[in-house]
Amino acid sequence: MITENCHPGLHKETALTPGNFLDPEVRAFLEENTEVISSGNLTPEIRLRLLTPRCRFWKERADLWPFADPFWAIYWPGGQALSRYILDNPDIVRMGSVLDLGSGCGATAIAAVMSGASHVLANDIDPIAGMAMVINCELNNVNPFPIAIKNITDTKLDKWDLIVLGDMFYDEHLADCLHHWLGKCIKMYGTKVLIGDPGRPQFTGHIIHRQLHKVMEYSLPKPTRQENNGLTSSIVWSYQP
């Protein structure tokens, strides 16, 4: 794991191989407060540790959670669509390099490994998300992939065959920033970009939306609808400026 955010048990700017950096106490906490789930979403073949109605924190006050908000403990609808698409269309990643930007639980990166990507990098700004991803890789008997804990748009561009982003266009400023950065990646390396989003107005109203090509729309399973008030479907878009 490459981390820029200091956290007890993690060391700044240290590349760590998954498996040897999991603080046993944090791991125990994550396992105690999440549940292994493999149904109710678009990818029943991927097992994930998530926050569910049977977990204490489902109804607990948010400020009692001891870490940053566990955005990784939710399998977001955009990520579900991307993962489903990659599992159904392995050719899109096979033998190629994949960057999963804003990985969260790591499902889309796991889907990329399962579909035969030769090199996968998962990225998130939350170190606890990195730990959750390692646990989720284990759950799926997937060789752990490298995880970069940092704002990757602040770093120099690398060559990727494919960049996937699930549910990242929720904020106008972030959307502007990603729009600009992705444009550069495509221009410099011809990278293919896939975006998963359930129809957030910040995304559909953003200028990037004019340069998207709709790849696939998935109807969300009932449990996912129930957990995402107001949402009914999720779409995979290809960004083609």
Residues in touch with other proteins (CB under 8 A): 51, 53, 57-62, 65, 69-71, 73-74, 167, 170-172, 199-202, 225, 227-232
Q: Which is nearer to other proteins, 24 or 201 (CB)?
A: 201
Residue labelled with tokens 């998207």: 212
Shortest gap between Cβ of 8 and other proteins (angstroms)? 22
Shortest gap between Cβ of 201 and other proteins (angstroms)? 5
Q: Which is nearer to other proteins, 202 or 211 (CB)?
A: 202
Shortest gap between Cβ of 193 and other proteins (angstroms)? 20
Q: Which is nearer to other proteins, 115 or 224 (CB)?
A: 224
Q: Which is nearer to other proteins, 20 or 229 (CB)?
A: 229
Distance CA(188)–CA(169), nearest Å, equals: 22
Chain centroid to Cα 21, Å, comes to: 20
Shortest gap between Cβ of 96 and other proteins (angstroms)? 29
68: which 2 tokens? 């940053």
Task: Please say whether the beta carbons of 28 and 148 come within 8 A.
Answer: no
Shortest gap between Cβ of 62 and other proteins (angstroms)? 6
Q: Which is nearer to other proteins, 25 or 171 (CB)?
A: 171
Residue labelled with tokens 């049977």: 54
User: 197 in helix, strand or coil?
Assistant: strand
Distance CA(39)–CA(27), nearest Å, equals: 23
The end-to-end CA distance of the chain, in Å, is: 32
Distance CA(20)–CA(93), nearest Å, equals: 28
